[in-house]
A and B are shown apart, each in its own frame.
Chain A
Amino acid sequence: EAQVTQNPRYLITVTGKKLTVTCSQNMNHEYMSWYRQDPGLGLRQIYYSMNVEVTDKGDVPEGYKVSRKEKRNFPLILESPSPNQTSLYFCASSPLDRGSGYTFGSGTRLTVV
């Protein structure tokens, strides 16, 4: 089944403790992206990647890092999480043909205390 898999689904952590949210897709998509969703603010893009070893900042990249060493994986790294990063996070992927919709993962609900 074609899908984007995020792990974990739920995570509670403490301020300052480094964490990684993994994202993997099995559709050979070139484009991958991370979003956070907050009440009243909709989805905001954190980082995106057009292909392996090519990443770029979205609208809210501060406090986040990403890497794209393999085509299928696009992990989101929070080096020193803070409470304002408590949010619902989504990974998405799409082919680069620019005429396709995006496939989203099921989301990761992160709470930083």
Chain B
Amino acid sequence: SQQGEEDPQALSIQEGENATMNCSYKTSINNLQWYRQNSGRGLVHLILIRSNEREKHSGRLRVTLDTSKKSSSLLITASRAADTASYFCATVLNTGTASKLTFGTGTRLQVTL
């Protein structure tokens, strides 16, 4: 089952512009993570935000989390052509001894020169 829904599904911007991707989810979470995937390759972990955090930064990345709206956003500032990839949000719910990571369907970002 899909927990996260990313919006937009695809985004095309020019180098230097900012890119914003949104993620909505349905259930309670312990943390939310963002991953990047270059075409056909493995996913790379970008940033994790805990349910009691509202904002987090890592380099050119800024993540916000609004648990009341069950939504998160990923902002990439001053984008570069090398940022072209698919970006996925993933929610983590810890129950007892289990920990479930559930992915959304992703946003395809194209950064042109």
A residues contacting B by CB (< 8 A) are 4, 31, 33, 35, 40-45, 48, 50, 56, 58-59, 88, 90, 92, 96, 98-107, 109
Among residues of A, the one whose C-beta sits closest to the C-beta of B92 is A98
6 closest residue pairs by CB, A with B: A101-B45, A104-B42, A42-B105, A43-B103, A104-B43, A106-B42
* A31 CA / B2 CA spacing, docked (Å): 21
Q: Report whether A42 and B99 are in contact in the complex, using a CB–CB cutoff of 8 Å.
A: no
Instruction: Give the residue of A35, A92, A109 whose beta carbon is less than 8 angstroms from that of B40.
Output: A109
Chain B residues 19-51 with CB under 8 Å of chain A are 30-31, 33, 35, 40-48, 50
Q: Given contacts A90-B43, A101-B33, is CB(A31)–CB(B99) below 8 Å?
A: yes
A-B contact pairs, 18 of them (CB 8 A): A4-B42, A41-B105, A42-B2, A42-B103, A42-B104, A42-B106, A43-B103, A59-B102, A88-B40, A90-B42, A92-B43, A98-B94, A100-B48, A102-B35, A102-B43, A103-B45, A104-B42, A104-B44
Number of A-B contacts (CB under 8 A): 69
Q: How near does chain B come to A66, taking the closest CB pair, in angstroms?
A: 15
B residues contacting A by CB (< 8 A) are 1-2, 30-31, 33, 35, 40-48, 50, 88, 90, 92, 94, 97-106
Q: Report whether B42 and A105 are in contact in the complex, using a CB–CB cutoff of 8 Å.
A: yes
> Max chain A CB contacts within 10 Å: which of B43, B99, B104?
B43
Q: Report whether B42 and A107 are in contact in the complex, using a CB–CB cutoff of 8 Å.
A: yes
Q: Report whether B1 and A59 are in contact in the complex, using a CB–CB cutoff of 8 Å.
A: yes
A residues near B103, Cβ cutoff 8 Å: 35, 42-44
B residues near A92, Cβ cutoff 8 Å: 43, 101
Q: Report whether A50 and B106 are in contact in the complex, using a CB–CB cutoff of 8 Å.
A: no
B residues near A40, Cβ cutoff 8 Å: 105
* A59 CA / B2 CA spacing, docked (Å): 10
Q: How near does chain A come to B47, taking the closest CB pair, in angstroms?
A: 8
* A4 CA / B42 CA spacing, docked (Å): 10
Q: How near does chain A come to B75, taking the closest CB pair, in angstroms?
A: 18
Q: Report whether A42 and B88 are in contact in the complex, using a CB–CB cutoff of 8 Å.
A: yes
Q: Given contacts A104-B42, A107-B42, is CB(A96)–CB(B99) below 8 Å?
A: yes
* A2 CA / B54 CA spacing, docked (Å): 30
